[in-house]
Structure 1
């Protein structure tokens, strides 16, 4: 049993500035949280593994599928898109957003290595209909379980063995403690208006950006509390 500090910012444990690459604390918590029984009654057991030598990255080796890696779920968009969003928040608001996004509630795992194309992590970052947003990624995962098309269908399909571990979308949500990102009926709660991937995934004005920020922070805080409650019993 390890103690989980749900307020810890994993950037403080990264030499390169990207905890998903090299934070030992982040990977130890991932290993602790997700080493458990699957809906299929199999148990998935993780070990941390450093690949690529002294300045390589950490991955999660396991007993069932290929290595997995950590991924920050929700982008804050600050410092990207030619600084478009940088002046839309105060300095404190920006730093609070960055901090919450880098707590354990703001991280998940996906398959680590390329398989005939982008990884899921890479694909959701470069796809202009997703722009790294986790709510839109989650909708693509929901549609995949229904065998319906989405902007990430091809990328997700390459890692079908990973998603089969959870059998269906509801189990996937429950396994990764993502209940606060969906409704009681397991429909995705979107942080911005959703129109079947037609509109830009980016906030279009300050009001939308602040709404996106508030919705995202609220979901991560609730997931943090869920993680703490689940593992303090």
Structure 2
């Protein structure tokens, strides 16, 4: 069970996938994201070092740059739009005037810093997601100090995506068989009118599946034939320590 576009690069052999488990990769991504997000303002040298480490991770994962760029582009609007307001809202000497709007140099630097931080954090997470199967990521969550309800919700939510996809395929086949050679406009109208029915059918089916799970002894945890991979504390602490050292270097850089 799986969408091919989610696990497209998960079967590639690389240093990252060979020497680390899914749980370790999750810790690596979280450490890099926290190091980028908590970096003190103005620590450009530390950000550059962090960027080199993330680039090394991309190289060790053998992930194509085009695939990484697509993943970053999907998250780009979420941190680019808030950054665009900083050159206008942050006070400082104006370096560019566009009509009645003046852009401050301080605001431009802060906007660039936010974009750089977010890009590094998203890149680290995107690398781990791209080279790890979704089912392995869900099993890797068992090594994280998260509530069991959160882990179960993520695991069930991932599986319910396939339920919705199955219902969508059935509905699309029924529409094509009944509409025949109808125009595209009629087909789009029919598809739009069936969205509500699709939701109701999927909700009813998910309720039946949940009732069947409860009757078979489900207690907020899905059974699996593959046990959760053990996380090496040494490697995890070493990588987390590397990102902590980079963050401390940024703090020292700002305090000078």
So what's the TM-score if we normalise by structure 2?
A: 0.25
By percentage of residues, which structure has more strand? 1
Larger RCO: Structure 1 or Structure 2 (Cα < 8 Å, ≥ 6 residues apart)? 2
By percentage of residues, which structure has more helix? 2
